[in-house]
Amino acid sequence: MKTFKLVGLSVIDDDMHRQDIPFIDGLIINKEDGQNRWLVEAYLDDDYEPMFVNLQRRPEFQLQVTITNPGNDPANMLVAVRSITKMNGHISVLMEGLMIPRRTHLAEVVLAGLVKKGLQGEALLQEFRQQMHERIDAKAPQERKR
């Protein structure tokens, strides 16, 4: 197994909106099990407990993580919450999941969102190009405040 510093964490909702989650500390572990499975642990304020309790009820959800350096591109994951541990006004959330290939998944997510909005033809193509350009050029989330 290889362990890395977690420097960015975002939850992607069903409408593909990203919510950055400020955290105090975190790590991500490549299980190196041949199945591309990873563990993510984030130590954060207990204000986020209801959100993660709700996410724990789901079989999986999309997460975006930035590893080691805030300048790195975020990686997309499909994860499930394995545990939530309370710790003196904070919580530790342990998630397990799969890393998703970035380019393929990103295009599918963008396209699905646009189709859901009812776009077709040239309007669909133009909006797809614009959103792909915006997402690819987007910088990693701003450093979190502690």
Which residue in the block uniquely carries the two structure tokens 């986020």?
48
Burial category of 129 from C-beta neighbours within 10 Å (exposed 0-12, middle 13-18, buried 19 and up) = exposed
**∠7-73-42 over CA atoms, to 5°?**
25
More confident residue, 62 or 135: 62
Report which secondary-structure segment, H or E, holds 39. Answer: strand 37-45
pLDDT in tens, 83-132: 999 999 999 999 999 988 766 666 777 787 788 889 899 998 898 888 87
Report which secondary-structure segment, H or E, holds 20. Answer: strand 18-20
pLDDT in tens, 49-90: 999 999 999 999 999 999 999 988 899 899 999 999 999 999
Which residue in the block uniquely carries the two structure tokens 């545990």?
83
Predicted TM-score (pTM) above 0.95: no
Q: Whose CA is closest to 23, among 93, 82, 99, 83?
A: 93
b/e string for 18-54 if b means 16 or more Cβ within 10 A?
A: eeebbbeebebbeeeeeeebbbbbbbbeeebeeebee
Crossing angle of helices 102-116 and 121-137, rounded to 10°: 140
Chain Cα centroid distance, residue 138: 15
